[in-house]
């Protein structure tokens, strides 16, 4: 099952502009979040930014899951 899921993701990264863009943005957000988490001390602004990034990442991940679901439905 994982290989099939991985194949779908690879295909969508190559062929679906929206999925590719969302995936790239999700990766950039992950890097930004990791940068905040590496800090020894977090300011209030850091905490607010951390929450904002997590929400945005989740929205992108949800949309990516929706694209995968629709792709699979079309193939069946």
Domains of the chain, residue spans: 2-75
What whole-number distance in Å separates Cα of residue 70 and Cα of residue 27? 22
Determine contact, residues 20/12, Cβ cutoff 8 Å. yes
Q: Which residues contact 65 (CB under 8 A, 6 or more apart)?
A: none
What whole-number distance in Å separates Cα of residue 58 and Cα of residue 30? 11
What whole-number distance in Å separates Cα of residue 76 and Cα of residue 72? 7
* 8-49 pLDDT per residue, tens: 999 999 999 999 999 999 999 999 999 999 999 999 999 999
Predicted confidence at residue 3, as pLDDT, reads: 64
Backbone phi, psi, residue 16, to 5°: -115, 110
pLDDT at 63 over 60: yes
Would the pTM of this model clear 0.95, i.e. be above it? no
């Amino acid at each position: 099952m994982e290989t099939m899921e991985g194949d779908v993701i690879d295909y969508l990264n190559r062929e679906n502009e929206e999925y590719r863009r969302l995936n790239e943005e999700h990766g950039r957000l992950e890097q930004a979040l990791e940068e905040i988490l590496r800090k020894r001390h977090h300011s209030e602004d850091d905490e607010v930014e951390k929450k904002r990034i997590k929400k945005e990442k989740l929205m992108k991940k949800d949309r990516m899951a929706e694209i995968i679901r629709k792709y699979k439905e079309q193939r069946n």
